[in-house]
Structure 1
Amino acid sequence: MKVIAHRGLSSRFPELTESAFRAALELPIHGIETDVRLTKCGEVVNVHDPIVDRVSNGRGRVSRLDLESLLSLNFGTKEVPEKVLTLNNLLDIFEDYPDKHLYIETKHPMRYAVMLEEEITKILKYRGLLEDPRIHIISFALPAMYRMARLAPQLDRIHLRRSWERWGNPRDVRCGVPTGLGLSLERAKLEPKIIGAKGLPTYLFTVDKQKDMLWARDQGVDMLATNYPDRAAELLNADEEPDMYANAHGKEE
């Protein structure tokens, strides 16, 4: 099972910052996950929320701020300030780790809609990554899957499904011909039979408890996104002795 660091090593460093990504990329894991949005001036930046209030010392909506304004904010801590990363910044870091994979989640809904996928495609094309098997596009938005299938059909595309979709979209109606399907831990536990549905690999999010990591492995999950990739790497790479398995089930951190 492939371990993916959700927003970098976000359990120990401010999410989606250089320190979080570099720490995660140093781990013996498969890769990292990031969330991207588009600024007012058209830059693709690594920010999860539509507003910056939670993750910085500033305020405002990402789509209404330009890059200069975002760069004036602190996305780190008081002791170790950090600037917002653009997708290009992250890809510069990524170049130092040729054995790792990058999962880029496009965040929707947003005011610029199709422009986000278009800008991502331009960046990847410029950097020669449009056919790189280490690059994966993921999104909850079905239109985003369709757009990426048209703009960059060679790239891996994973459609993330929310827990409520078992009622709102029980047949997994989808467009964009995804190459993988994402699944929340909650829904996977309710319906384990849909792990590996349609013969496609399963991306499971967000798995932080040790007993759930082992459960996911035993269920045949292909990719596991976690805020604790260091713990996951240690647990899943360890020898599977009975006492280790019992300890993992008896203690959750």
Structure 2
Amino acid sequence: MKIVAHRGYSGKYPELSPLAFAKAMELPIHGIECDIRLSRDGKVVVNHDATLERVAGNPGHIAEMDWEDLRQVDIGEGQHMFLLDELLEMMEGKPHHIYIETKHPSPNGEKLEQEMVNRLRLAGLLDDPRIHMISFSHKAMRRIRSIAPDIDRIYLRRDWERHFNRPDILLSRPTGLGMSLLRAKMQPSAIGAHGLPTYLWTVDRPEDMKWAWSNGVDMLATNQPEVALHAIEL
């Protein structure tokens, strides 16, 4: 089972910060996960929420702020937000994979996926097998398949889909499927559905990590990658 550091090593360092990713990539794990949004001036920013309220106590909306202002925001322990370009630079010479989640709904619509592809192309990583796109949005998945069909695409199923999409119909032709730990425990038969690899989030307790490993999960997203390294028989 492959260990993925969720938002970097976010269990120990400020989430999605340069420090969290640097520390995650010091570990012998499979990869890292990040979230991206567009700033008002079109920069691909590494951040999860639409606003800065939770991470910085700032009510500002990322889509309504320019990068020059966003880069000044302290997101914890003196760390500052950074760009996808900078995260991709950090990966140079590293074996780690990266799972990039495009956040929706977004006022930027389809621009986010296009800009993600542009940044990957500029970094020379568009065809790199270490690049994976993950999303809760079928539209986003279809856009990536259209503009960059070789990128691995993992559709993240929401927990309520087990009621409204019982046959697990795949509307966007993903190459992998994600699910929460809660859903996996309620519906373990969905692990490995359609013969596709399963990405599981967000698993931080050793007993749950062992459960995921013994039940055939392929990729485990965790805020505690060092705990996972000790808990899972690799």
Matched with 1:242 is none
TM-score by length of 2: 0.97
Whether 2:69 is the aligned partner of 1:69: answer yes
Q: CA–CA distance in 2 between the matches of 1:72 and 1:4?
A: 28
- Between the aligned residues of both structures, percent identity stands at 50
CA deviation after TM superposition for structure 1 residue 173, in Å = 2.8
Q: CA–CA distance in 2 between the matches of 1:169 and 1:113?
A: 25
User: Structure 1: 5+ residue runs without aligned partners?
Assistant: 239-253
- 1:147·1:176 contact (CA, 8 Å) conserved in 2? no
CA deviation after TM superposition for structure 1 residue 102, in Å = 0.4
Q: CA–CA distance in 1 between the matches of 2:122 and 2:98?
A: 17
- 2:35·2:101 contact (CA, 8 Å) conserved in 1? yes
User: Structure 2: 5+ residue runs without aligned partners?
Assistant: none
- Provide runs of 4+ in structure 1 moved above 4 Å: none
Q: CA–CA distance in 2 between the matches of 1:203 and 1:144?
A: 18
Matched with 2:96 is 100
CA deviation after TM superposition for structure 1 residue 57, in Å = 4.8
SS class of match (2:51)? coil
CA RMSD of aligned residues (A): 1.1
Matched with 1:60 is 60
- 1:206·1:226 contact (CA, 8 Å) conserved in 2? yes
Matched with 1:231 is 227
Q: Which structure shows the bigger proportion of residues in strand conformation? A: 2
Greater Rg by CA: 1
The one-letter amino acid of 2:45's match is V
Q: CA–CA distance in 2 between the matches of 1:66 and 1:203?
A: 33
What pairs up with 1:1-253 in 2 under 5 angstroms?
1-77=1-77, 81-97=78-94, 99-237=95-233
- 2:51·2:58 contact (CA, 8 Å) conserved in 1? no
TM-score by length of 1: 0.90
The one-letter amino acid of 1:25's match is M
CA deviation after TM superposition for structure 1 residue 56, in Å = 1.9
- 1:2·1:224 contact (CA, 8 Å) conserved in 2? yes
